A and B are shown apart, each in its own frame.
Chain A
């Protein structure tokens, strides 16, 4: 599908407007100095853990559990990442360890 220049300009402009609106809105609605509503403060405390849980699930959304490698390399690499992070508390190490483990698994074992 090719767009005309006008269509492309409108598309990009809409994307820019939507992005800016969602970024600026919180700062406009919740100005510093004015008290933030209790429910919003509560969400600020409880959302991060829930959202990162969502992001983790999102990363695994395309894993096929019933066919192919059945998510085994993903789960092994996940276990390695979690174990490393729980024991060593070093984010770089956990990320590198988990990723290298996954790369080895999908390239050499499950390839």
Chain B
């Protein structure tokens, strides 16, 4: 289990018909294989590379940024992302680059625990948006979020939707 394995397993939808356990196992062991093989290859051939590679380490930053954006897009909410960003930046400012990780994690956990109720409510509401068809949804504003008036419209839509569901039964 590595950061990358976690990243892939939690951001990829398991293909239909595939067993969840085997899927995760294969992702994990292939990751391990690539990691060890890549490291070995680099150690053996690294000296031969003459291309200026300064800055190549940015690829990891870019990967985390992409996964972060995918997460926000899929969850259709930014509260937890903002809690993570805020806690991390605050912690970095206070404790410095070498010892900010653990305080940041503690702060994230504390905030998520404190705001469990409102955040869960938002999550539930968003998953109900997802269960509605696209045509039921109001226009989104440019930044991809729903404005308040539209939010209320969707609430009514959901109520209507639920009503229909009950009537059918």
Contact = CB atoms under 8 A, between A and B. Distances in A.
Interface residues of B, number: 50
A49 B68 contact: yes
19 contacts: A43-B112, A47-B112, A49-B68, A49-B81, A50-B112, A54-B105, A57-B88, A59-B60, A61-B100, A81-B61, A81-B66, A85-B65, A85-B69, A86-B69, A94-B66, A99-B55, A99-B56, A103-B55, A106-B55
Given A77-B61, A102-B55, 19 more contacts: A39-B113, A45-B123, A47-B80, A50-B80, A52-B81, A53-B81, A54-B88, A55-B3, A56-B64, A56-B88, A58-B88, A61-B92, A62-B97, A98-B58, A98-B61, A99-B55, A103-B54, A103-B56, A107-B55
B62 interface: yes
B104 A54 contact: yes
B117 to A, nearest CB: 10
Given A42-B120, A45-B123, A105 B55 contact: yes
B63 interface: yes
Contacts of B85: 53, 56-57
A95 B84 contact: no
Given A39-B116, A57-B89, A61-B100, A91 B66 contact: yes
Nearest to A63: B97
Contact of B62 (A61, A95, A106, A111): A95
B137 interface: no
Main secondary structure of the interface of A (DSSP, over half): helix
Contacts, number: 138
Contact of A60 (B3, B61, B66, B70): B61
Contacts of B27: none
Interface in A10-69: 23, 39, 42-43, 45-62
Contacts of B66: 81, 85, 91, 94-95
A82 interface: yes
Interface residues of A, number: 42
B108 A81 contact: no
B83 interface: yes
Interface string B84-125: 110111001000010011001100110011001001100100
Given A78-B65, A81-B65, A51 B101 contact: no
B115 to A, nearest CB: 9
The 5 nearest A-B residue pairs measured at CB: A53-B84, A50-B84, A57-B88, A103-B55, A59-B61
A69 to B, nearest CB: 11
Contacts of A105: 55
A74 B56 CA distance: 12
